[in-house]
Structure 1
Amino acid sequence: MGKAVSDFEFYVLRLGKTTLRAAHVLGVMGGAGGFLFGLESELWRHWWILAMSSGCLLLAWEIWRSPMWLVQLKGACTIGKIILLALCYPFPALAPWFFSFIALLSVFIAHGPSQFRHYSLWHRKVLRGKEIKG
């Protein structure tokens, strides 16, 4: 499984991930209005870049921490959110619906029961275990 992290390492990793999450939420908030209401991109582009870059870093963090994340509902739903976001560009009339569904899905994944988040689509069971990297 790998070596256990020290208390200091744990708090540094935890603070790093929390900082990335905060940046991601801030970027999504800043970009959402422009994205949903068709404002000129110059008004919200920097927020969108923050949301996308922090989101990519969070995705990489989760895969680094546990590659099983990809087959758990929390990972599969994140990949689904990325696909829905990509569909906003070829189908701009549906973008507000896709974006709203992404936001709702995010809440259910972040705050849902652990049995839901940790359920593996591949293994057809809840995968638990000590994840030591953050």
Structure 2
Amino acid sequence: MTKNIKTPLSPDFKGKRTTKIIIRSLHILTIAGTAGGIFFGLPFDNWAWFWYAAITTGSALFLLDALSNLIWFVQIRGIIIMLKIGLLLLVGIAPNWDTLIMVVAIIASGIISHAPSNWRYYSIWHRRIIRSSKDSKG
């Protein structure tokens, strides 16, 4: 079994798992608020803070994961997360597409969260499963 290599960008720290659980829980709440506002056709002002908070919490999770292991950027799990952040940033630009954007983001979240590790850790660059930057050599 290969150990993940720590990087100076975001080394492991005491409470990292707890921090991620708290941020992820807040992220789920804010996505629910954003989706509810969109699905029920509420005025943007009624759910705007949910949207801003969803982008903030999603970005925080992105930074914690990506900077802990830079190989994350070429793994399916990282690519899906970057896609979801991109989709969230599109909300409001073309309001007729907001419902579809949220549906795609939520389905992508469910799939990548529960996908087997050989899907999540697959590197499109290396064309094989990569669990750390050490695995990418050779």
TM-score, L = length of structure 2: 0.80
Partner Cα distance (2:86, 2:42) in 1: 23
- Quote how far apart the aligned CAs of 1:2 are: 4.2
Give the 5 Å matches for 1:1-134: 1-2=5-6, 9=14, 12-129=15-132
**Letter aligned with residue 23 of structure 1:** L
Higher relative contact order (CA 8 A, sep 6+): 2
Q: Is the 8 A contact 2:37 2:43 kept in 1?
A: yes
Which structure 1 segments of 5+ residues have no match? none
Deviation at 1:99, TM superposition (A): 1.2
Question: AA paired with 2:127?
Answer: R
Task: State the Cα distance separating 1:5 from its structure 2 match.
Answer: 5.9
Residue 128 of structure 1, CA deviation: 1.7
Q: Which amino acid aligns with 2:65?
A: E
Q: Equivalents in 1 of 2:89, 2:53: separation in Å?
A: 17
Considering only aligned residues, what root-mean-square deviation do their CA atoms show, in Å? Answer: 2.2
